[in-house]
Amino acid sequence: MLTVLFIIAQLASTGGFGESGWSMETPEEVTGREGKVTVLFCKFTHPHPGYKGQGDSGAVIGVKGDSVTLSCTFEPPQRSLSSLTVLWMKRNPHRASTVFNYTRSLVSGSGYTDPVTVSEGDRYELIGNPIQGNASLRMRTLQLNDTDDYFCHVHVRNGSQENVTQDVIRLQVVVPATILDLSIVSNDVTGESIVCRVEAVPPANITWIDPEGSSVPGNSTDTTVTQDPEKHQIIGEFRNPILRGTYSCVAVNEHKRDVRQIHLTADNYYSNFIIGMFCLIPLVKFLLLLITGIILFIKITD
């Protein structure tokens, strides 16, 4: 007689940590056959880039060089906790870099330990009180490469239970239009130009005002605009200006309007003319020698 023995495994079903973070689902009972393969089913979810925790905190705009606050609030612990950890992470949580780590633990009989804080580059400061449900972070001296998604992870443990909350914030670092340099550039080939170098995020529009007060677009027959995306700069050039007097470079983006002026004197024009003439002297000499040679050749052949 063939005897079949079944193994029954009792698995406690759990709701995990609910909708605020981790969740787990398992069946109450699994039936298996002796000597055969049995699958113990376990399904779980966890915070990920698409998960917004208690709600998407939206986008925050910060100015290069300034400070900005990234808000993160959660349901505060209702009773004594074993430990509390606040992690601020940059980019995708699965391969993110942790820029800030705050941990506070309860030691039996001696109260809470001093918080352990790790701040990358010492530019991050916890300004909220996690015990009261606030894990907001301040970032100082913003840089353009700070533009990214930031994830606030809060782990609260009470005994054997843990609650995980996550919020995501999009930080956009902007640069108000700022004229870095306005100068006169002379070139043997292209002649004289006025060059205006601007840093701006988003990119700025450049307009020129000539000595007669007329507005000249950044891209016209006499002007050009080029971009340097790596440096987040715009370079405007006014080529071969004819009028003598004061020219203005006007740079505008949605955060600022910046204006700088430069005076173009007649001396600039005449000095460039003289330089140009000196450059032509070798060519004139060559032509004279060539003509003289041709004349001598004709006379000799005659």
The answer on 163 and 72 residing in a single domain is: yes
The answer on 127 and 200 residing in a single domain is: no
Q: Give me the pLDDT at residue 74, please.
A: 86
How many independent structural domains does the chain possess?
A: 3
The answer on 148 and 103 residing in a single domain is: yes
Lowest mean pLDDT among 20-34, 116-130, 154-168: 20-34
In a domain, residue 218? The reply is: yes
Cβ–Cβ under 8 Å, residues 144 and 131: no
CA distance 225 to 237: 6
In a domain, residue 286? The reply is: no
In a domain, residue 275? The reply is: no
The answer on 241 and 139 residing in a single domain is: no
In a domain, residue 273? The reply is: no
Query: Which of the listed residues 148, 173, 198 is the one where a domain comes to its end?
Result: 173
In a domain, residue 79? The reply is: yes
CA distance 170 to 62: 11
Comparison of pLDDT for 82 and 110, the residue scoring more:
82
Comparison of pLDDT for 286 and 90, the residue scoring more:
90
The answer on 146 and 123 residing in a single domain is: yes
Region 103-119 average pLDDT: 65
pLDDT band at residue 239 under the 50/70/90 scheme = very high
In a domain, residue 156? The reply is: yes
In a domain, residue 82? The reply is: yes
The answer on 153 and 113 residing in a single domain is: yes
Residue with tokens 């909220």: 128
The answer on 166 and 112 residing in a single domain is: yes
Looking at the predicted structure, is the pLDDT value of residue 52 above 60? no
CA distance 97 to 151: 10
The answer on 145 and 103 residing in a single domain is: yes
Q: Which residues contact 154 (CB under 8 A, 6 or more apart)?
A: 72, 74, 84, 85, 86, 87, 130, 135, 164, 165, 166
Query: Which of the listed residues 143, 173, 203 is the one where a domain comes to its end?
Result: 173
CB 142: neighbour CB atoms within 10 A?
A: 20
The overall average pLDDT reported for the chain is 78
CATH number reported for the structural domain that contains residue 201 in this entry: 2.60.40.10
The answer on 210 and 146 residing in a single domain is: no
The answer on 121 and 32 residing in a single domain is: no
What pTM, to 2 d.p., does this model score? 0.64
Q: Give me the pLDDT at residue 157, please.
A: 81
Q: What is the pLDDT of residues 64-108, one digit of tens each?
A: 999 999 999 888 877 667 788 888 988 765 566 888 888 887 665
Lowest mean pLDDT among 22-26, 162-166, 218-222, 243-247: 22-26
Cβ–Cβ under 8 Å, residues 143 and 64: yes
Q: Give me the pLDDT at residue 278, please.
A: 60
Looking at the predicted structure, is the pLDDT value of residue 16 above 50? no
Cβ–Cβ under 8 Å, residues 271 and 254: no
The residue range of the domain holding 217 is: 188-264
CA distance 234 to 203: 7
pLDDT band at residue 116 under the 50/70/90 scheme = low
The answer on 193 and 168 residing in a single domain is: no
Q: What percent of the chain has pLDDT over 70?
A: 73
Q: Give me the pLDDT at residue 130, please.
A: 87
Residue with tokens 């601007």: 198
In a domain, residue 293? The reply is: no
Looking at the predicted structure, is the pLDDT value of residue 2 above 60? no
Q: Which residues contact 231 (CB under 8 A, 6 or more apart)?
A: 199
Q: What percent of the chain has pLDDT over 90?
A: 38
Q: What is the DSSP letter of 145?
A: G
Query: Which of the listed residues 31, 46, 61 is the one where a domain comes to its end?
Result: 46
The answer on 143 and 59 residing in a single domain is: yes
pLDDT band at residue 27 under the 50/70/90 scheme = low
Q: What is the DSSP letter of 134?
A: B
Q: What is the pLDDT of residues 164-204, one digit of tens each?
A: 888 889 999 999 999 999 999 987 777 899 999 999 999 99
Region 262-270 average pLDDT: 73
